[in-house]
Amino acid sequence: MAKAAEQETQHGLLCVWGRFAQEIGLISGLEAVALHQKTYDHSPQAKVLETLVAILSGAKHLQDISLAAHPLDKDLALAQAWGQNGWADYSGVSRTLCGLSWAEVRALVAALDRVSQPFIVQELNLLREQGQPIREDGDLTSIPVSNTSRTYPNAAFGHMDDEIRLGYQAGVTSLHSPSYGRLWQSVEHHAGDTVSCTQAEALVLAAEQRTGLRPRRRTELLRTRIEACQKERQPTEKRYESQKAVLEKAQTAFQETLSQLQTAQASPGTRPKRVASLERRCVRREKAITAAQTRLAKTLHLLQAHLEAEQVLQVRLKRFEQENADNPCPVEIRFRIDAGFGTYDNIALLIEMGYELYTKLHYHKAVQALQKLLAPDSVWTRVGKNAEMVAWADLKLDRCPYPLQVALERFRVGEDKIKHSALAYFGKAPVTHDLPAWFSTYNGRQTIEAGIKETKQVIHLHRLKVRSEPAIFLQEAMTIFAANFIRWATLWIAQHSQPEPGQLPIQGMGIKRQVQVAAHASANVIQNADGLLLKFSPASSLAGKSLHFRAIDRPVRLTRFLPFFTILDLIVQKLR
């Protein structure tokens, strides 16, 4: 029997997460990133890893690493579980984070992405095997700071949680996952004055880059739209030509009148009444020229707008044709966004990009227009406890180039107040035939809203731990990675811990309880050549619970959870 090494820890589940982090190549991936800072007692890569562990622990502030009731940097068992000899003081971690450049942060985020990619690919393959659609959601979440702060670079005032606040915005996308419920795909850092309606395309492109998948671009619709734009431009061109002729005629008439006036003024025998009459006529001719120039300028501005819009669409068509040519295996993807993104331009763009689209209309005037379409005998269908809908199939809205399936919602707020909004859908499904299902499918995007709430209230995304903008982006990326990591680890623990009496029911514990309770529960870590045993101490709220893992034969590690390059290395070693 191998001799057991026993250590005490105040962060029980965090130690198990450290073992999982080593299995999936997370620690080696971060350590491989080149950072141009000196190593004293701890490498800069180790301090970056320590930041991630602090986020996983639910630390609200960076100083909690050293000043919490049970400091992370005093827990040797935890450090060793994460492959480290020890942790740095929070002040050293802070200096390292503030010294990171944008290039270094992007390299660190790329390392996190490489670890994440096998899990995302696995879920996409599983969706395909199950015949389920790929379902993605996008949103913009606020990260406010103190309104009086002057030390956050490029922070800006914007709408945050129904207030005007100083801070940043993060654009995020998530994927519906059969195994994990929700997986974050991407995060983009923005100034606080960024608004949703400018970010729809960016969210979709970020999701496409993350998954490597995209639908077939609907180039046939785009061509039809361009042809319609060209036809709409023709009356403007004719009006421009006719107005240009009117202006030329007015200028010619003015010159003739001016010449007559000059001749009359030079002739001594001309009557004063004749001169006065010509002067008044010149004034009228000048006013006619000014009016013609104003009309012509407006028409020219409108014509230029037409041409610029067509140019944008022509460039888009060329790009989409090339993307279709480069995409031999397009997929069907359902994308859901809220009303902040639901402008007509965004709706048209996402339709042309090939997506099945669920959204709410951005404009209140659209709601008013739908209310005018209601007939006295319109039938409202109950779709929720206090919600009803009435719908129209293939409705052509003003300023939207494509017909949509549209529904008017009404919600009873209180006893006598009714609130209205408008849903829009584009895709193959006849959603107007089953309004409760449509209502439920769209509101399923609450999963991303719940995810945002989780990152803020459990992993504390909204509490910025640094004041360097590259490091702020790193914190955003690490936060969504941590939310995914906990879900991956939950399934891994359930599948690979030994079924024994008193086993911690990890899958019955929500993310919040894992972070706030199990990750801060005292335990004994007992490990030897036979495996690892985590026994929660009698003084913890998880007294009597444990997790037991048998030793893993490294040449046949858990390849399901390994990055692709690690799997490839193992295959090569086996062949040798």
Q: 576 falls in which pLDDT band (50, 70, 90)?
A: very low
10 Å CB burial of residue 306 (0-12, 13-18, 19+) is middle
Across 98-102, 439-443, 456-460, 524-528, least confident range: 524-528
Tokens representing residue 572 in the block: 């090569």
Between 530 and 71, name the one with better pLDDT: 71
Say yes or no to pLDDT of 572 above 90.
Answer: no
pLDDT tens column, 77-121 = 999 999 999 999 999 999 999 999 999 999 999 999 999 999 999
For range 52-59, the mean pLDDT = 97
254 occurs within a structural domain: yes
Q: Is residue 314 part of a domain?
A: yes
| pTM, to two decimals | 0.88
Cβ neighbors of 265 (< 8 A, separation 6 or more) are 275
Host H or E run for residue 308: helix 272-325
**Mean pLDDT value across residues 559-563:** 41
Count structural domains, the chain. Answer: 3
Report which of 459, 449, 486, 366 is spatially closest to residue 116, judged by C-alpha positions: 486
Residues 11 and 87 in one domain: yes
Res 573 pLDDT > 60: no
- % the chain with pLDDT above 70: 95
Residue 367 and residue 304 share a domain: no
Residue 177 resides in a domain = no
Q: Does 318 share its domain with 380?
A: no
Residue 567 to residue 300: CA distance in whole angstroms: 62
Q: 554 pLDDT band (50/70/90 cuts)? A: very low
12 in any annotated domain: yes
CA distances to 339, 379, 455 from 158, rounded to whole Å, are 17, 40, 20
Q: What is the band of 553 on the pLDDT scale with cuts at 50, 70, 90?
A: low
* 379 and 278 co-located in one domain: no
Q: Is residue 178 domain-resident?
A: no
Average pLDDT across the chain, whole number: 92
- 429's CB contacts (< 8 A; 6+ apart) are 356
- 3 state DSSP class of 572: helix
- Buried b vs exposed e over 221-245: b needs ≥16 C-beta within 10 Å? ebeebbeebeeebeebeebbeebee
DSSP, collapsed to helix, strand or coil, labels residue 539 as coil
Evaluate whether residue 24 is within a structural domain: yes
User: Do 551 and 533 contact (CB within 8 A), yes or no?
Assistant: no
Per-residue pLDDT at 174 = 97
User: For residue 364, which phi and psi values (nearest 5 degrees)?
Assistant: -70, -30
Percent of the chain with pLDDT over 90: 87
Residues 292 and 373 in one domain: no
Q: Are residues 310 and 232 in the same domain?
A: yes
Total residue length of the chain: 576
Instruction: Lowest mean pLDDT of 29-43, 46-60, 133-147, 402-416, name the range.
Output: 402-416
Q: Are residues 230 and 304 in the same domain?
A: yes
Q: Which of 444, 475, 502 is the last residue of a domain?
A: 444
Give me the pLDDT at residue 269, please. 85
* Distance from C-alpha of 76 to C-alpha of 91, rounded to nearest angstrom: 18
CA distance 427 to 396: 15
How far, in whole angstroms, is CA 32 from its chain's centroid? 28
- Any domain includes 451: no
Nearest by Cα to 335 from 200, 451, 438 = 200
Q: What is the CATH number of the domain that holds 302?
A: 1.20.1270.60
* Same domain flag for 484 and 542: yes
For 104, 110, 144, 338, the CA distances from 190, given in Å and listed in that order, are: 18, 18, 12, 18
Per-residue pLDDT of 308-334, as tens digits, reads: 999 999 999 999 999 999 999 999 999
Domain match, 301 and 242 both: yes
Query: For residue 185, is pLDDT > 90?
Result: yes
**Amino acid letter for position 207:** A
Range of the domain at 557: 5-104+466-575
Does 566 have pLDDT greater than 70?
Answer: no
Q: Name the band, by pLDDT with cuts 50, 70 and 90, for residue 530.
A: confident
Please write the tens of the pLDDT for every residue from 422-435: 999 999 999 999 99
The angle, 0 to 180 degrees and rounded to 10, between the axes of the packed helices 12-23 and 44-56 is 130
Domain match, 274 and 315 both = yes
Domain identity same for 475 and 405:
no
pLDDT of amino acid 2: 47
DSSP annotation of 552: -
The DSSP 8-state label assigned to residue 331 in this structure reads -
pLDDT single digits (tens) 244-291: 999 999 999 999 999 999 999 999 888 989 999 999 999 999 999 999
Sheet holding 5-9, edge to edge: 5-9, 523-528, 531-536, 546-550
Give the model confidence (pLDDT) of 356-400 as tens digits. Answer: 999 999 999 999 999 999 988 889 999 998 899 999 999 999 889
> Are residues 316 and 381 located together in one domain of the fold?
no
Tokens of 343: 């402008």
Q: Token pair for residue 382? A: 């109950």
pLDDT reported for residue 1: 37
Contacts of 538 (CB under 8 A, 6+ apart): 544
Amino acid 552: pLDDT? 61
Q: Which residues of 107-136 are buried (b: 16+ CB within 10 A; e: fewer)?
A: bbbebbbbbbebbbebbbeebeeeeeebbb
Q: Collapsing DSSP states into helix, strand and coil, what is residue 525?
A: strand
Q: CA torsion angle for 32, 33, 34, 36 (degrees, to 10)?
A: -130
Q: How far apart are CA 330 and CA 216, in angstroms?
A: 5
Helix (H, G, I), strand (E, B) or coil at 529: coil
Instruction: Say if 551 falls within a structural domain.
Output: yes
Domain boundary among 277, 306, 325: 325
